[in-house]
Amino acid sequence: MKKILLLLAFMMANYAFAKPVLSVVEVADSTQKKAICTASIEDVASSEKKATSDISQVTVYLNGAQIERSSNVLVKNGTTTLIFENLSNTIDENSIQVSGLGEASILSINYGIDYLTKQKNTEAVEALQQEKKELEFSIKKINNRIVGLQKEEEVINLNQKLGSTTQEVSLEKVKALATYYRQRITEIKNEVLDAERSRYELQIKNQDLTRQLSELNITEEKSTGKITLKINSERQATLPLILKYNVANAGWYPIYDLKAKAIDTPLDLAYKAHVYQTTGAAWTDVSLIISTGDPNTNNIKPEVNTKYLQFVNNYYRNSSRSTSSYSYKYNPTVKRVTGIVQDSNGPIPYANVIIKGTSTGVVTDFDGRYTIDIPQGNTLMYSFLGYDNEELPIYSNTMNVNLKESPAALDQIVITAQGLSREKKALGYAVSEVSSEDIGRMLSGNAPRVSTSTPVNYTATGDIKLDGLTTTRFEIKKKYSIPSDGDVTVIEVDTFKIPATYEYFAAPILNENVFLTASIKDWAQYSLLPGEANIYFEGSYAGKTFIDPLATTEALTVSLGVDPNVIIEREQLDNFKATTFMGSQRIVDNKYEIKIKNNKAMSINLQLVDRIPKSQNKEIKVDDIETGDANYDKETGLLKWTVSIDSNSNAEKRFSYEVRYPKSQRINL
């Protein structure tokens, strides 16, 4: 035992000797290091701070916008990290600019998405969503009450048996129980009926709230953007920082009001900008600049290289085309488009009109007209056999399109008894007749879909200032608030009183209506863009037209609508029409008479246009042309008259021609 105790004492002594012992100096040094480490962490935490900022100015482009935020931040000596939160999640990182640094310098700029912080809705939307939640809660409570009443009814029905085989029930007890069952079952039925009626009313109100939220373009919550800015400063200072960046999901498009009081007064034009945005951040009381620029346009100039010719497959066609010029822009408020698809010869029946990227489409009727609802998408595609396809952004409620004939050989579709076959033909061939029902079945598209229109909030504007080099900037002096809900805010950019030359126009071969037009010279000074215009003539709303300032003509011609007081009629004279045969040739004589009646209380000038067909095939000849006093262009076949018609007077114009072609062929006159 004594040996064991000595051994234990020896082991404990060795353990004590091996254990390190900290001196007073070492303990003090360790405490100091810990304090330094803690101070370093606190310094890092204090050098990183969240910066508050407000949107002070917005430059709205045709597609996109530049946001300018202002923020006064305190930076200390050394490095400070500033975090700007709750920004849009569609920021173009390459467009971020920072100014107002003074003597400080930027070490780094970083943009990222904050998926934990969601974009905030407006107070009105929050109130609607809260009301919707309360309604849904009330509907659930009513459902629970209905279930409880139904369960009670089941219990009563299961316990209707009275007494047993060994015990009789008195008549008075039977009457009492029967009365109770009748009264309680009736009460339950009535309570269920009242609850179902209350539930139905709440469901109708809930549906209305759902539609209202949908009308406000409310989608599921989105993440926010965050910009982290690291700044180095040699001294403590307060910096008035200006943060600029470009965002998507915003833009504007022009709308005009054209007012003509009479055909001898200047034309009043109101230039309006329809501004919209869904950037995730409301523009509250900001200065607006409306710019005709588009930062998304390809700014790299093209290079033309040598083209080398070689033999290719007969069925290969190089359909490369030059990039479209800077022109029409997508209008997000257009929910239905109507128009006419035509070529140089007139309307094209059964042409395809499809919303790009979808299966929604229609086919033009016999007069080339179409109407298509736009539930989604931003581009319309037009196509027809033998023509180049055309794609246009949905820029207007009325879109008339001219398709161009393909300059290459066509693969003609010929309908036979056995089915479809292909036959190569050159342009100018005669096409065999096919019934409209067959063509319609071949080219039919999907039925149009119904959609609702986007609400518009009208807002007046203040003075403006124009400035710009390659683009025009309209500086709106009055401040605006534009919520991030996609609704349109109308801003009046400018008003003009424009000298115009009024003239009536008619092309009865295409449309037997007389249109009033206004010709504007020096129109480039007004910085107009392609856009729809509301027409007001003689104090009344006359419909819509489209202003297209992209033409290269010296004067801009604007259609002011149809004047029903001027009547025109184009008639083919039956007593002159004749078809004769000479050998293998068929000869067709055509003569037309155009009658014009002016029922207005003043004289008018009318520009009248018609045409004589031109042959593209040497076997088809057009001869014996009689144009009367018309101005005839032999290259195009167009006939033009300038007719002055007094008040309550008539005018007549005639022309004729003869067509010869092989009688074994058919042509469309």
**Structure confidence at residue 567 (pLDDT):** 92
254-262 average pLDDT score = 88
Give residue limits of the domains in the chain: 2-42, 51-119+221-247, 123-159+173-215, 250-295+456-562, 336-443, 566-662
**Structure confidence at residue 8 (pLDDT):** 47
**Structure confidence at residue 103 (pLDDT):** 87
**Structure confidence at residue 168 (pLDDT):** 66
Q: What is the pTM of this model?
A: 0.63
Domain 566-662 coded CATH 1.10.3470: no
Name the DSSP class of 53.
-
Token couple for 134 = 């309360």
Higher-confidence position of 73 and 421: 73
Q: Is the pLDDT of residue 274 over 80?
A: yes
- The architecture (CATH level 2) of 336-443 comes to Sandwich (2.60)
For 480-512, the pLDDT digits (tens) are 999 887 888 999 888 888 888 888 999 998 888
Q: Is the pLDDT of residue 598 over 90?
A: yes
CATH number of this structure's domain 51-119+221-247, picked from the four choices 2.40.360, 2.60.120, 2.30.29, 2.30.30 = 2.60.120
Residue ranges with strand state E in 156-282: 223-233, 237-247, 250-260, 267-277
With cut-offs at 50, 70 and 90, classify the pLDDT of residue 98: very high
Cα-based distances in Å from 288 to 254, 461, 472, 493 = 15, 11, 14, 11
For 442-466, the pLDDT digits (tens) are 444 333 333 333 334 434 444 444 4
Q: Please enumerate in sequence order all residues whose Cβ is within 8 A of that of 109, keeping only pairs 6 or more positions apart, or say none.
A: 96, 98, 227, 228, 229, 230
With cut-offs at 50, 70 and 90, classify the pLDDT of residue 594: very high
Higher-confidence position of 29 and 533: 533
Do 362 and 343 touch, CB atoms closer than 8 A?
Answer: no
Question: What percentage of the chain has pLDDT greater than the value 70?
Answer: 74
SS (H, E, C) 522-556: CHHHHCCCCEEEEEEECCEEEEEEEECCCCCCCEE
**Structure confidence at residue 57 (pLDDT):** 94
**Structure confidence at residue 124 (pLDDT):** 72
Q: Is the pLDDT of residue 220 over 80?
A: no
**Structure confidence at residue 317 (pLDDT):** 46
510-521 average pLDDT score = 87
Q: Which range has the worst mean pLDDT, 265-279, 327-341, 434-448?
A: 434-448
Phi-psi region of 312 (alpha: psi -120 to 50; beta: other; left: phi over 0): beta
**Structure confidence at residue 427 (pLDDT):** 35
Q: Is the pLDDT of residue 166 over 80?
A: no
Do 266 and 497 touch, CB atoms closer than 8 A?
Answer: yes
Q: Is the pLDDT of residue 440 over 70?
A: no
- Indicate the average pLDDT of the chain: 77
Q: Which range has the worst mean pLDDT, 137-146, 202-211, 336-345, 410-419?
A: 410-419
**Structure confidence at residue 644 (pLDDT):** 92
Q: Is the pLDDT of residue 623 over 80?
A: yes
With cut-offs at 50, 70 and 90, classify the pLDDT of residue 118: low
Higher-confidence position of 316 and 495: 495
Give the residues across from 319 on adjacent strands.
Answer: none
Tell me if 51-119+221-247 shares its fold with 336-443.
no
**Structure confidence at residue 315 (pLDDT):** 45
Q: Tell me if residue 52 falls in helix, strand or coil.
A: coil
Q: Which long-range contacts (CB under 8 A, 24 or more apart) does 539-544 make?
A: 539/261, 544/397, 544/398
For 33-69, the pLDDT digits (tens) are 444 444 444 444 446 788 889 999 999 998 899 999 9
Q: How far apart are CA 536 and CA 543, in angstroms?
A: 8
**Structure confidence at residue 328 (pLDDT):** 75
